[in-house]
C-alpha cells in the first residue's frame, strides 16, 4: 500500500504507507510545512513560499529514484546481496525525508541561536558520538556539521528512533547519512553503504539537485535550463571512485553548472534578496537583545515545534510592545517592504562606481563592515541600523565546489573541469552590497572609496 502526493516539480511522489504513518504524518515532520525554504526571499520573488516540507519529499523522491536505477546496474549490485541493498535503500529513503527536520524557523537565519555545545553534549548522551567513535570517526565529523544538521540528528534519535527501528532502520546510520557518512561502511561494510551516504551528502547529492530545481521553479526566476531526468539517469558508481555521473550527462552538465551559478547570483544573491534576509536576521538579533528568552532554542524546536509563524508573531508582539525600539523600526520596514537602496545592484555598476582595486576594496569592506557602517552612519547622520554592508547571507551555498562534479568513463572518474566543460570560467565571489537610505548612494560610495584610498594609499 502506498500514498501518492502531487508535487509541482516532480509530479506524483509515491511513499510506502509505513513511511507516511511513522515519519511524514508526525508533528515533528509536519512542522516543516511552516518553515520556508528561502526564508524572506518571498518578499522579492512572491512565489518563493515553498517550504522544507515539500523539499524533503522531493529529496526522498530523487534519492529513491536514483538508488533504484543504480540497482539496475549490474556493476553496482555485483557481490552484494539483496538484503543489504534493501537496507541501504530504506536508510537512504528515511534520511532523505529527515535530513532537514532540524531546521529552525527561517531556516539558516536562526541557526545562530542554537547552542552548538549543548547539541554536541546531547548527541553524546544520545549515543551518536559513541557510535561515530566506534566506526573510527573522530568528534570532528560531528562538530563540523551545521547546527541544523546536529539538531536534526537529535530529533531523529529522540523523536523518530523507535519508528525507524520499526522500519528496520538504524537511527544512528540515518544520522550518519545526514552528516555525510555511513557508519556501516566506516566499520568495513560494503562500498555500496558509503554510496548511500554520498547520494545525500556530496557535490552531486539529491538534496542539492532538488533545491536547485525547486528554487528555480517556485521563484519563477527561470534561469536554469537543464534536463533533470537525464541527470537522474546518468548517476553511476564505482567501488574506488564512489558516486559519479556517466558520460551521458555530458550534454546537460554544462547547463547545470551555469544554471546553478545563475540561480545563486540572481535569486539567493539578488541585492533585494540579500536585503530582505539580512533585515530579518537583524530583527531576530534585536529580539534577542531585548527579551529574556532567546528567539530560538533546541527545546523550543523539539518541544514547542516553533516555526516561521511562531517567530514572526513574537516579532510582531514585541515590536508593538516596544514601539520606540530599533526592532519596531525594522519590523515596520519589513512588513511594509520599505527596502533601503544599494550603492550598486550588480557587478557592472560596482566596477563603474568603485575607483579602486575592486577585489581589495571588497575584502576591505567585508573585513571592516562594523567600523565602516558606523563611519557611514555618522557621515550620513542616520542611526547605525540604517546602514548595512553585506556580501552574502548564505555563503555556504556558493557554487564554486560544483567544479568537482565527477564524470565516470572507462572505469575511473575525472572532474568536469578536466573535461573542459567549465572552460576557463571560475565562480565569481559575490560582490559586497552597501545599503543606505534613499538618496544617499553617491555620498556613501564617495565616502567609502576615499576612506579606502586614505587607508591603503591608493593601492
Helices (H) and strands (E) in the chain, counts: 23, 9
Geometric angle at alpha carbon 333, from 331 and 337, rounded to 5°: 120
- Containing 15, the helix (H) or strand (E) segment is strand 11-16
Alpha carbons 170 and 83: distance in angstroms, whole number: 14
Alpha carbons 14 and 12: distance in angstroms, whole number: 6
The per-residue pLDDT for 241 is 81
The per-residue pLDDT for 426 is 57
β-strands 412-415, 406-409 pairing = antiparallel
DSSP alpha helix (H) spans, 99-220: 116-125, 128-134, 140-143, 147-166, 171-179, 183-186, 191-200, 206-219
Sheet holding 341-342, edge to edge: 341-342, 433-436, 388-390
Alpha carbons 58 and 13: distance in angstroms, whole number: 8
Alpha carbons 224 and 204: distance in angstroms, whole number: 16
Residue 322, Ramachandran bin (φ over 0: left; ψ between -120 and 50: alpha; else beta): beta
Please report the sign of the dihedral spanned by the C-alpha atoms of residue 304, residue 26, residue 120, residue 207. Answer: negative
Q: Note whether 142 and 176 are within 8 A (CB).
A: no
Alpha carbons 425 and 419: distance in angstroms, whole number: 13
Geometric angle at alpha carbon 351, from 215 and 445, rounded to 5°: 100
β-strands 412-415, 341-342 pairing = unpaired
Q: Note whether 218 and 41 are within 8 A (CB).
A: no
Using alpha carbons, list the distances in angstroms from residue 269 to 201, 222, 276, 404, 434.
23, 15, 11, 22, 13
State the virtual CA torsion across 251, 255, 260, 263 in degrees, nearest 10.
Answer: -150
State the virtual CA torsion across 375, 376, 381, 385 in degrees, nearest 10.
Answer: -100
- Containing 370, the helix (H) or strand (E) segment is helix 369-380
Under CATH, which number does the domain 2-268 receive?
1.10.3210.10
Least Cα distance to 43 among 202, 274, 301 occurs for 274
Q: What is the pTM of this model?
A: 0.94
3-state secondary structure of 420: coil
Going residue by residue through the chain (459 aa), what tens digit of pLDDT does each one get? Answer: 899 999 999 999 999 999 999 999 999 999 999 999 999 999 999 999 999 999 999 999 999 999 999 999 988 998 889 999 999 999 999 999 999 999 999 989 999 999 999 999 999 999 999 999 999 999 999 999 999 999 999 999 999 999 999 999 999 999 999 999 999 999 999 999 999 999 999 988 999 999 999 999 999 998 888 888 999 999 999 888 889 999 888 878 878 877 888 888 889 999 999 999 999 999 999 999 999 999 999 999 999 999 999 999 999 999 999 999 999 999 999 999 999 999 999 889 999 988 888 889 999 999 999 999 999 999 999 999 999 999 876 766 666 655 677 888 777 788 777 766 655 555 667 899 999 999 999 999 999 999 999 998 644
The per-residue pLDDT for 408 is 84
Alpha carbons 50 and 8: distance in angstroms, whole number: 10
Q: Note whether 407 and 249 are within 8 A (CB).
A: yes
Instruction: Count other C-beta atoms under 10 Å from residue 110's C-beta.
Output: 25
The per-residue pLDDT for 78 is 87
Q: Note whether 62 and 209 are within 8 A (CB).
A: yes
Which residues does 177 contact at the CB level (< 8 Å), separation at least 6? 91, 92, 95, 99, 196, 197, 200, 201
Least Cα distance to 398 among 203, 170, 225, 250 occurs for 203
- Containing 65, the helix (H) or strand (E) segment is helix 52-71
The 8-class DSSP code of residue 104 comes to -
260 class by beta-carbon count within 10 Å (0-12 exposed, 13-18 middle, 19+ buried): buried
Q: Where are the domains of the chain?
A: 2-268
**Residue 316 C-alpha from the chain's centroid:** 26
The per-residue pLDDT for 250 is 80
Amino acid at each position: 500500500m502506498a500514498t501518492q502526493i502531487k508535487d509541482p516539480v516532480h509530479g506524483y511522489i509515491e511513499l510506502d504507507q509505513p513511511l507516511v504513518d511513522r515519519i511524514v504524518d508526525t508533528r515533528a515532520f509536519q512542522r516543516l510545512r511552516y518553515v520556508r525554504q528561502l526564508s524572506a526571499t518571498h518578499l522579492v520573488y512572491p512565489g518563493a513560499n515553498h517550504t522544507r516540507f515539500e523539499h524533503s519529499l522531493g529529496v526522498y523522491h530523487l534519492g529513491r529514484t536514483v538508488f533504484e536505477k543504480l540497482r539496475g546496474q549490474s556493476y553496482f549490485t555485483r557481490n552484494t546481496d539483496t538484503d543489504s541493498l534493501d537496507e541501504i535503500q530504506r536508510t537512504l529513503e528515511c534520511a532523505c525525508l529527515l535530513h532537514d527536520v532540524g531546521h529552525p524557523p527561517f531556516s539558516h537565519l536562526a541557526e545562530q541561536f542554537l547552542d552548538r555545545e549543548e547539541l554536541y553534549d546531547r548527541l553524546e548522551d544520545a549515543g551518536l558520538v559513541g557510535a561515530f567513535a566506534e566506526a573510527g570517526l573522530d568528534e570532528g565529523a560531528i562538530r563540523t556539521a551545521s547546527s541544523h544538521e546536529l539538531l536534526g540528528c537529535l530529533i531523529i534519535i529522540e523523536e523518530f528512533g523507535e519508528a525507524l527501528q520499526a522500519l528496520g532502520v538504524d537511527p544512528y546510520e540515518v544520522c550518519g547519512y545526514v552528516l555525510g557518512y555511513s557508519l556501516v561502511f566506516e566499520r568495513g561494510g560494503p562500498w555500496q553503504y558509503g554510496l548511500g551516504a554520498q547520494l545525500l551528502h556530496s557535490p552531486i547529492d539529491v538534496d542539492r539537485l532538488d533545491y536547485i530545481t525547486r528554487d528555480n521553479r517556485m521563484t519563477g526566476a527561470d534561469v536554469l535550463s537543464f534536463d533533470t531526468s537525464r541527470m537522474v539517469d546518468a548517476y553511476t558508481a564505482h567501488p574506488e571512485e564512489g558516486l559519479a555521473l556517466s558520460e551521458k550527462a555530458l550534454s546537460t552538465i554544462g547547463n547545470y553548472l551555469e544554471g546553478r551559478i545563475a540561480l545563486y547570483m540572481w535569486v539567493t544573491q539578488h541585492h533585494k534578496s540579500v536585503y530582505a534576509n539580512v533585515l530579518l536576521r537583524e530583527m531576530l538579533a534585536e529580539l534577542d537583545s531585548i527579551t529574556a528568552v532567546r528567539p530560538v532554542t533546541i527545546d523550543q524546536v523539539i518541544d514547542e515545534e516553533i516555526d516561521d509563524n511562531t517567530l514572526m508573531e513574537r516579532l510582531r508582539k514585541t515590536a508593538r510592545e516596544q514601539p520606540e525600539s530599533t526592532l519596531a523600526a525594522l519590523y515596520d520596514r519589513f512588513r511594509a517592504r520599505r527596502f533601503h537602496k544599494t550603492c550598486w545592484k550588480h557587478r557592472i555598476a560596482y566596477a563603474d562606481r568603485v575607483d579602486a582595486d575592486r577585489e581589495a576594496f571588497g575584502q576591505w569592506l567585508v573585513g571592516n563592515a562594523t567600523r565602516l557602517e558606523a563611519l557611514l552612519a555618522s557621515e550620513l547622520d542616520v542611526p547605525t541600523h540604517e546602514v548595512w554592508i553585506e556580501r552574502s547571507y548564505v555563503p555556504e551555498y556558493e557554487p564554486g565546489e560544483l567544479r568537482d562534479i565527477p564524470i565516470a568513463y572507462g572505469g575511473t572518474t575525472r572532474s568536469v573541469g578536466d573535461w573542459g566543460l567549465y572552460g576557463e570560467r571560475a565562480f565569481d565571489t559575490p560582490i559586497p552590497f552597501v545599503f543606505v537610505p534613499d538618496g544617499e548612494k553617491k555620498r556613501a560610495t564617495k565616502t567609502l572609496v576615499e576612506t579606502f584610498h586614505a587607508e591603503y594609499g591608493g593601492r
